[in-house]
Structure formats: C-alpha cells, structure tokens
Amino acid sequence: MNYLKEMWRLQNIEVELVKLRKEWTQIKEWLNRETGEDLAEIQAGINEAREQWELCKGEYEEGVSEIETIGRKLEQFNSQLYEGGAQSKELVSIQQNIEQLRRRKRNLEEKQLSSIQQLDDLEQKIANETVRFQRLDEQRKSRLNRLMERRDEIRERYKDLKDQREELRKIIPNFMMVIYNDLVAQKKRPMAILTDENCSGCGMAQTVLNVNALKKSGQYTRCSNCGRILIAGDEVEQE
C-alpha cells in the first residue's frame, strides 16, 4: 500500500482547514462590526421627532384656548358696542380693543395652520423612520443569525476535519509524513497529480521511468523538479 490516496485526502483536509480558518476570522470581523450604531441613530431621530411633536402639539392647544378666549372677549366688546349707553371716548377704546383682538386672532390662526403642517410633517417622519428602523432591524437580525449559524457549522466541520486529519496521520507511515511536512514547510502543497506525463504542481514532464513506476507499479514517486509527491489522476477521480 502506497498511502497516496490517504495523503491526498490529508492535503484536501488541510486546504479546507485553512479556508475555514479564514472564513471564521472574516465572520468574527463582521460580527464585531454589527454594533447596531446605525439603528441607535435612527431611534434617536425618532425620539427627537416625538419630542418636537409633543412641543408643537402643546403650542397648538395653547393657541386653541387663546383663540377661544379672544372669541369670548370679542363677543363681550361687540355687545358693549351695540348695547349703547357708552360714551364716545369709551366707544373708541372698545373699537381699538376689538381691532387689537382681531389682529391677534388672525396671527394665532396663521400660526395654527403652520403648526398643523408641522405636526403632519413630524407624524410622517416618525412613521417613515419607524418603518425604516423595523426593516433594518429585521435585516440585521437575519444577518446575525446567518453569520452565527455559519460560525456553528464551521466549528463543527473544523472539529470533524481535525479528527479525520489525526486518523490519517496515524495511518500514513512516518517517513512519508516527514516528506509531506517538509514540503508543507516549503509552503508547497505536497501532493501533485500526474497529468499525462507532467507534474501538475510545477508542470515539469517526468521521465518514463518515473511515470511507469507510479502508473504501473503504484510506487511512491516524487517530481524530479519540485519534489512533490505524485499521484495518478485516476486515483484522485475515483474519490
């Protein structure tokens, strides 16, 4: 037994472990970035709009009661005016009062109109921002869920692969593991497929002797150029 398939599997496992570690780090970064700051900002905006609305509503109600008071006063003055019996000096002063009150009332009514507009705008803003908040909050929650689910998957897969790696290391003879680890230390993937007569790692054509040794006798063969351990393509495809 040449243990080539086992080493090929070992290599695949180690490649996947590296990928999983990278993804794990990426997910951790993404999760750290999920501070919910944007949501807090929207919420603060909604709260501010609510406070403004309360303030505006208060002013509007004060206006309503002042207009009512003015209405009553105008009635009083008007009846004084038409009751008769008042001196002309008093009449002038009553008419001045009436003018003044009417002006005040007109100003108040204009202000009321703009208050109503402002209240409408604020209500619209609160409604829109609340919808936006809910949508973003839902998106955030599902994003967090997905990330955490994937993190759990990675954790399990990683553990599983590590166990498989341990098993393979126990099976593969020591001297082969030494060569394998030496190639890893050189930052090379230790295994390469023999494609036609070439090493798939460096592309170098192999001698007929080498090719035959591997293909016919299944002997343990290394690339004469890069030193990678060669495996026949059909062995890999069978997996």
Beta-bridge partner residues of 32: none
Considering only 26-34, 75-83, 172-180, 192-200, which stretch makes contact with Zn ion by CB under 5 A? 192-200
Beta-bridge partner residues of 16: none
Residue of 17, 74, 226, 232 interacting with Zn ion (CB under 5 A): 226
Considering only 58-66, 78-86, 148-156, 197-205, which stretch makes contact with Zn ion by CB under 5 A? 197-205
Report the nearest approach of Zn ion to the CB of residue 174 (Å): 23
Q: Does 201 bind Zn ion (CB under 5 A)?
A: yes
DSSP string, 18-47: HHHHHHHHHHHHHHHH---HHHHHHHHHHH
Size of site (CB under 5 A) for Zn ion = 8
**Looking at beta carbons, which pairs linking 159-168 to residues 24 or more positions away fall under 8 Å?**
161/13, 161/16, 161/17, 161/20, 162/17, 164/9, 164/13, 165/10, 165/13, 165/14, 165/17, 168/6, 168/7, 168/9, 168/10, 168/13
Euclidean distance between CA atoms 16 and 200, whole angstroms: 19
What track of x and - describes contact with Zn ion for positions 124 through 153 (by CB under 5 A)? ------------------------------
Q: Does 225 bind Zn ion (CB under 5 A)?
A: yes
Nearest CB to Zn ion, comparing residues 4 and 199 = 199
Tokens standing for residue 20: 């999983």
Nearest CB to Zn ion, comparing residues 80 and 224 = 224
Nearest CB to Zn ion, comparing residues 49 and 193 = 193
Q: Does 231 bind Zn ion (CB under 5 A)?
A: no
Q: Does 202 bind Zn ion (CB under 5 A)?
A: yes
Q: Which residues bind Zn ion (CB under 5 A)?
A: 199, 201-202, 204, 223, 225-226, 228
